[in-house]
Amino acid sequence: MAYLQLRGIEKFFGEHRAIKGIDLTIQQGEFIVFVGPSGCGKSTLLRLIAGLENIDGGTLMLDGRDITDQPSSKRDLAMVFQSYALYPHMSVYENMSFALKLAKVDKQVIDEKVQNAARILNLTQYLQRTPKELSGGQRQRVAIGRAIVRAPKVFLFDEPLSNLDAALRGQTRVEIAKLHRDLGATTIYVTHDQVEAMTLADRVVVLRDGVIEQVGTPLELYDKPANQFVAQFIGTPQMNVVPLPQLPSPVQQQAPAGAEGGAIGLRPENITVRNTGATPVPGQVDLVEALGAETLIYVSTPSGAQFVARQNDRTGLRAGDAVSLDIDASHAHWFDPNGRVVARQTA
């Protein structure tokens, strides 16, 4: 039986139907990530689960209990916001214990819970400091600690790392993954960053315009996207998607029935840059991104197609150099004119 179940969840803002009948089941202990472009409805859906917005249609079940119309305080959920939302005049200890004090929990129990959460999050030495005395990463850990002490049934994270710099994002991402593993908690995490989605999630929910495009493990979405939108949204850099008429004839001839007027999708690792004349596909280098462990080479062809190739070795190529492309269609995803997958090859 599903631990958290969304059945036909809808949300309207005036005449605008923001969430369009979402169905989703989440098992106990899962780490679920909602991902999608800005305005897709991922934060709205999280707020509906949290009880911060009213559900206009459908049913929300938690551990066998209907919480659709329950106030946020009665749902046994804890939310961590992007903005930390700490009380500036309170110490770390007071911030973390505040909800328990309101619930009139015994002082000794409160102290045990706060000390335990502080130990898990490496905050013990900061318990008497105020938020202004902490770094951004430490403030976010306090916000997470405040959620931990409540021991909720589900943790809800709304883009918790977006205010942190790149180094802190990476560090805190590892801490959140470890925390989830140690606590075994059910977690729903909203992000626009697909790297966070790919590295944290047991399953990823890809949203667009208030509907779910696909649900699956990170590698399922990477290897077997349901459509062109998911294919291009998951993966960095994104999948090369090229209209069939811009492909060389030998590749066009491999297109399956149903792909007429559509496109081919190829991951950057399935494109190899060769010396000029080595293959029938000429091109010109537009940009080389030397990232150290890997190199990304952006190439345009005379037909107007643009490709990005990923390779593990370094290159002496520069923008403007003439090259040729080796296109490995054995790993192609073929899309019809509406972006639906008609065939994929993973040989």
The stretch 112-138 carries a mean pLDDT of 91
Rounded to 10 degrees, the C-alpha dihedral 94/98/104/108 comes to: -40
Burial of 85-98, coded b for 16+ CB within 10 Å and e otherwise, reads ebeeeebbbbbbbb
Residue 183 pLDDT more than 90? no
Q: Given this model, what pLDDT does residue 1 score?
A: 60
143 and 81 Cβ atoms separated by less than 8 Å: yes
Question: Which of 54-68, 92-106, 244-258 has the lowest average pLDDT?
Answer: 244-258
Is 40 part of a structural domain of the chain? yes
What is the number of structural domains in the chain?
2
Q: Tell me how long the chain is.
A: 347
Residue 107 pLDDT more than 90? yes
Q: Given this model, what pLDDT does residue 345 score?
A: 62
Is 252 part of a structural domain of the chain? no
Q: Given this model, what pLDDT does residue 347 score?
A: 46
What is this structure's pTM?
A: 0.89
> What domain range includes position 197?
4-223
Same domain, 120 and 213: yes
Q: How far is CA 121 from the centre of its chain?
A: 23
Same domain, 174 and 26: yes
The stretch 203-210 carries a mean pLDDT of 97
264-309 pLDDT per residue, tens:
999 999 999 999 999 889 999 999 999 999 999 999 999 999 999 9
Q: Given this model, what pLDDT does residue 173 score?
A: 86
Residue 162 pLDDT more than 70? yes
- Which domain CATH number covers 314? 2.40.50.140
Maximum Cα interatomic distance, the chain, rounded to a whole number of Å: 78
Same domain, 67 and 192: yes
Q: Given this model, what pLDDT does residue 133 score?
A: 94
Cα separation, 258 vs 28, whole angstroms: 40
Q: Which amino acid is at 239?
A: M
Higher pLDDT, 13 or 85: 13
Residue 62 pLDDT more than 60? yes
Instruction: Evaluate the omega torsion of the peptide bond into residue 302 and state whether it is cis, within 30 degrees of 0.
Output: no
Is residue 91 very low, low, confident or very high in pLDDT (cuts 50, 70, 90)?
Answer: very high
Residue-averaged pLDDT of the chain: 92
* Percentage of the chain exceeding pLDDT 90: 70
Is 236 part of a structural domain of the chain? no
- Which domain CATH number covers 9? 3.40.50.300
Name the E strands within the chain: 4-13, 16-26, 31-35, 57-62, 65-66, 77-80, 154-158, 186-191, 203-208, 211-216, 240-243, 263-266, 271-275, 282-290, 295-300, 306-311, 322-327, 333-335, 341-344
Is 337 part of a structural domain of the chain? no
Q: Given this model, what pLDDT does residue 61 score?
A: 96
